[in-house]
Structure 1
């Protein structure tokens, strides 16, 4: 995919291009030590100036870089709430990749971002350290790890494997099969310790239908309770840390006081991973790294949980369990199928 916006402007563009006297001056941006982006966001800290520019610049200044009808839409939207992400900006009428590029150009020219922000590539604003980490990950990850990081972009993974070593994040973004979601997956894999997500991707790619194991992170528990991952024949359920008032339509169900320990969460995830591994399609290094990542996330935590049992024919059934960290809200769901 093509890079959105330019990384560098000529010196002539930077001369005399500060904010107008009627606008707030941009916050100073560090020129050195751009840290890795360690949260699943679409704007690196070093690129936050793009949003600051959009949220604070006058209509006249924005109009220097954007068409007037787009400026009108953006200003009307920011009057209700400040923009907090590129996804937020893309939700405004008439805003697409070209307008993001123009916003980046304006923010850079007005001094809201510096060289520590590479710019916006495929709807992802990356720092220089993010860019280096992405390139390093693409060049050093094993084949199986790269495919696991890109579960919905195998063509992109294949293309990267065929062209590496790559030298720039621009080259990664330009690769056939790499788009907004896959570039973000690569950034997360490189920066966050994305091993658990990659394990979930690998488990969920092993089959379709109710008999397929599932490992879902940050799941919507209301949807789970409503039956999104089971059949229409729920037989019973039990929960820890919840009450009937939390899920009034969950019946028959037993609600217990107290919470679940990390070992319980680990054992449920380990069970569904074992089911998926029996297919031979989940790489062993993905399992090892993913389970280690899980351990680091759940250590010392307590979890609310529910387990729902469903019939699937006369000789089989489905068990769906979810766990919610009582402090952070981290959520994980498992689904297994059994038969006699």
Structure 2
């Protein structure tokens, strides 16, 4: 695989700092020599881009291949349009490529085929599925998520694809991302939502895992979750005390006896709940600063300017303990977090 040009293109794409270094027109015969190869493991996509780093050779191929090479894989009029457009600015995304006249899903797949044949991408890039190019790591994360996600969360991740969510639930388990993309009711927006849910919150998930790993001292503790069944948690009934305040839920989803708050939650409320859970178990001291910093930065990037539905639940199963649960679900993307703190005498 032509690693050096791909790596440079990927860095320039993610940094969003303008066009990167101009790659030379690739040879139409042998692959790059070992002297310019840079081996790297597959990379999980953690930003909302439409080309995984391991697939950025597709863009490199479109940006640098000669007219005659592109003409092997595309109709001549499409090649002319691509070459004329790239003369003004390099392509930085599949969406950007798709603005070229006559370039649609079929032409993008042909470009992918050319990039793979000419060794601009290899098996680390699964390919273009429903408008995004995913890596092998992305595929693993997507398949694991769809095979394990709860009903309530999957429907939140796919708010405009109810039938697609039902079909995924009825058809799983899957072994490839292609099978998921091919499921009836799953299209470009839905598949991208699934990819984002599977890959974009890994630093936050690492922080949550660190919180959950802190041993309880028997009198208090905290749990933080990124993926969970909010419906079962919110609708559960408790013996001694069961106070629930919910917001943004469909009337049929409001737990029995809950107070309905008129206002949705915002980013500040979500962050405060997570901060409280981390501090509650002395996580600011026990969790490495690098994990905390990356986790909260990731959280901030996912909640900034967003609105959340959910519930705040305080319950007691006896007079000598108390649990407080905060559930937040993005009303558009389905991104969700849950925190629970508890004490017992």
**Shorter-normalised TM range:** 0.5 to 0.7
Task: Give the C-alpha shift of residue 85 in structure 1.
Answer: 0.4
**1:291-306 alignment, distance < 5 Å:** 294-295=270-271
Q: What is the CA distance between 1:335 and its match in structure 2?
A: 10
State the partner residue of 1:276: 248
- Aligned: 1:44 with 2:20: no
- Flag the 1:48–1:104 CA change in 2: closer, same or farther, 3 A: same
Residues 69-148 of structure 1 aligned to structure 2 (within 5 Å) = 69-148=77-156
Alignment CA distance shift 1:155-1:55 (3 Å): same
CA distance in 1 between partners of 2:152 and 2:104 (Å): 34
1:29–1:46 Cα contact (<8 Å) kept: no
- State which of 11, 22, 27 in structure 2 corresponds to 1:20: 27
Report the RMSD for the aligned CA atoms in angstroms: 4.1
**Pairwise CA distance, 1:168:** 1.0
CA contact (8 A) 1:29 1:114 kept: no
Question: Cα offset for 1:138?
Answer: 0.3
Structure 1 residues 328 and 159, CA, compared in 2 at 3 Å: closer, same or farther?
A: closer
**Following superposition, which runs of at least 4 residues in structure 1 exceed 3 angstroms of deviation?**
21-31, 277-283, 290-294, 296-299, 327-331, 333-336
- The number of residue pairs the alignment matches comes to 214
CA contact (8 A) 2:28 2:69 kept: no
SS at match of 2:95: helix
1:23–1:56 CA contact under 8 A, matched in 2: no
What CA distance in whole angstroms lies between the structure 1 residues aligned with 2:250 and 2:133? 39
Provide structure 1 residue ranges, at least 5 long, that are not aligned to the other structure: 1-17, 203-272, 284-289, 300-326
The Cα shift of 1:167 comes to: 1.2
Tell me the CA shift for residue 185 of structure 1. Answer: 0.6
Q: 1 or 2, which has the higher helix percentage? A: 2
Find the residue that maps to 1:114 and give its secondary structure: coil
Task: Give secondary structure in 2 for the equivalent of 1:35.
Answer: coil
For 1:296 and 1:113, how far apart are their aligned partners in 2?
A: 43
Structure 2 CA distance for partners of 1:28 and 1:112, relative to 1, 3 Å? farther
Task: Answer yes or no: is the 8 Å Cα contact 1:119–1:127 preserved in 2.
Answer: yes
**Aligned CA distance change for structure 1 residues 21 and 29 (closer, same or farther; 3 Å):** same
Q: Normalising by structure 1, what TM-score?
A: 0.54
Secondary structure at the aligned position of 1:120 is classed as strand
- Structure 2 CA distance for aligned equivalents of residues 330 and 128 of structure 1: 27
Name the counterpart of 1:163.
Answer: 171
Partner of 2:283: none
Instruction: Mark the CA change 1:101 to 1:279 in structure 2 (over 3 Å): closer, same or farther.
Output: same
- Tell me if structure 2 keeps the 8 A contact 1:119–1:126: yes
Change (3 A) 1:297 1:185: farther
Per the normalisation by structure 2, the TM-score is 0.54
- Distance of aligned partners of 1:165 and 1:334 in 2 relative to their CA distance in 1, 3 Å threshold: closer
Distance in 1 (CA, whole Å) between partners of 2:184 and 2:142 is 16
Give the C-alpha shift of residue 158 in structure 1.
0.4
In structure 2, distance between residues paired with 1:35 and 1:166: 21
Determine the C-alpha separation between the residues in 1 that align with 2:254 and 2:87: 48
Could you tell me which of 332, 335, 339 is aligned with 2:305?
332
Post-superposition offset of 1:275: 2.9
